[in-house]
Amino acid sequence: MRAMSTPNPTKSQQWLLYCRPGFEQDCLQETQAAPLEVSANSGFLILQGKPRLNYGQLAFTRQLITLLAEVSELPDRDRLTPLLAAIPDTPAQFSALWLETPDTNDGKTLSGFIKRFQPLLEEKLRVSGRMAENLRLPRLHIFFPDKNRVLIGISDPQNSAATAMGILRMKMPYEAPSRSVLKLAEAFEVFLSEDEKTQWIRPGMRAVDLGAAPGGWTWHLVSLGMQVEAVDNGPLKGVVADHPSVRHLRQDGFRYRPKHAVDWLVCDMIEQPGRVAALIVDWVASGSASRAFFNLKLPMKKRVEALKEALASIREVLDKKGFKYRLQAKQLYHDREEVTVFLARIKR
């Protein structure tokens, strides 16, 4: 058994990060922290050296956890006793207990074990007074890279993903014309607070979907009660093809502009990230759209650089104009070789 002391903000701190398998190096590069354990396609990495990381600024990080302890050789029969002994005394209480595995095929084989083990551990923690109904308290993460090794850590509810494993699985609507609908549905849930959803998603709002075909993102906007202009030279499919809330415009998404400003702009076109970023910021800076969700398709060997350049180009335009804005990027669970970006002008 190997235990690590409770993190001290003034000393070198250790972090456990989850990411999409295959993106470990991108996750590492973005943090600029020192690697302790990074394996290709593992879906997680251990870092040290940064006193603080900001989850909201890490596009490739699914979950951000302060690493407290490790048990490297759990026995096959009694895993509970050594695990309980390894959980540090500080913090004294937790708001939630999340037992997690890597998002890999090997990790999925542990799901049955996790379901059986979770209630046993949770009951022990409750009896000992370690669990409390206070959402401001840190969450306790028990991460199993495999069945005989466990990493123990905590996450700050204000600086981490709000879902176990950092994954928000969306249900595929049977009427949606493509699975791309899941990306936009997840984006609305991940980037917007409940108050923002109430304020910014209302029936009758107007939206434009650039590169709309076959209509997955258009379908989701319609499901939210919006009136949508779907811009694409290609055909729409399914219910959106003749939906009364959809106006299909067979035009070039890079040239189209609406006659009147719209509430939402969305874009999932397969194009160079710099070109898409320039298009979206022009809409928002000119007042053609109040806010936008868009995907940036990133080159395999320069993902971090391409993302940084695209976001920097957006900031440069808006900063020169003196605009106040919100710009966030995250590789969502339903994304693949891409990152979803949210941009909104903020009224002063």
Domains within the chain, CATH numbers bracketed: 2-166 (3.30.2130.30), 181-345 (3.40.50.150)
Instruction: Calculate the average pLDDT of the chain.
Output: 95
Span 218-258, pLDDT tens digits:
999 999 999 999 999 999 999 999 999 999 999 999 999 99
Span 178-213, pLDDT tens digits:
999 999 999 999 999 999 999 999 999 999 999 999
More confident call, 98 vs 9: 98
Q: In terms of pTM, does the model score above 0.85?
A: yes
- Closest to 292 measured CA to CA, from 274, 321, 313, 268: 268
pLDDT for the residue 51: 82
Span 92-151, pLDDT tens digits:
999 999 999 999 999 999 999 999 999 999 999 999 999 999 999 999 999 999 999 999
- Closest to 224 measured CA to CA, from 199, 244, 203, 206: 203
Span 17-58, pLDDT tens digits:
999 999 999 999 999 999 999 999 999 999 998 788 999 999
Share of the chain above pLDDT 90, in %: 93
Question: Which residues participate in catalysis according to the annotation?
Answer: 297
Residue 88 has pLDDT above 50, yes or no: yes
Spatial contact of 42 and 52, defined as CB atoms under 8 Å apart: no
pLDDT for the residue 306: 98
Give long-range contacts, CB 8 A cutoff, 24+ apart: 20-24.
Answer: 20/60, 20/62, 20/103, 20/331, 20/333, 20/335, 21/102, 21/103, 21/104, 23/60, 23/303, 23/331
Residue 5 has pLDDT above 50, yes or no: no
127 Cβ contact partners less than 8 Å away, ≥ 6 residues apart? none
